Amino acid sequence: MIVQEEWVSIRTTPDVVERHLTQPALMVRWRSPLIQLDPIEGELMALESTHDLRILPLGMVSSNYKVIERDDQHILMNIKGVWEGQELWRWFVDGPRVVVQNRVEYEVNNQGLRFLVLGLGRFIADLDMRVQLFRLRELIEGPPAFRYTETRGPQKINVED
């Protein structure tokens, strides 16, 4: 089993995270341009909906993702096709922030493709997952210069006459 997992902490509320993870107009703003996600049955990310996920650099290689669990704190999808397994999106409150987890567990049965995935493909996928979560945080919180943190902000500068 191949497992890839990334986390990000975002200063926001759970409903904002859920909206960004499920609304197509928001998803296209943070999802990887290397991935195409097309609805096959049902609304995107709705319970029991099915989507075709295609990795564009690999051309016609794709798998179907079916949402098997969905609530206000997670989305779990079964994956069937060239790669098979599960993908989990989970979010939960941690103080003033929301932690977002993206975990994918899968197998690649085609030995030639498995060799590629375990080599360079896995490295690229890990990086791509990190970049997606970084872009999700940027979209919700804004660029670093505009973020509020306890350690940054207005400072008092004493000027002596």
Q: What is the pLDDT of residues 54-97, one digit of tens each?
A: 887 766 678 999 999 999 999 999 999 988 999 999 999 999 99
| Residue 118 belongs to a domain | yes
Q: What is the CATH number of the domain that holds 7?
A: 3.30.530.20
Token pair, residue 65, equals: 């993702």
How many domains does the chain fold into?
A: 1
| Residue 152 belongs to a domain | no
- The conformation of residue 92, written as its DSSP 8-state character, comes to E
| Residue 120 belongs to a domain | yes
pTM: 0.83
Mean pLDDT on 14-43: 93
Could you list the residue range(s) of the whole structural domain that residue 50 is in?
Answer: 2-146
CA angle (3, 58, 66) in 5-degree steps: 55
| Residue 117 belongs to a domain | yes
Other beta carbons within 10 angstroms of residue 55's beta carbon come to 20
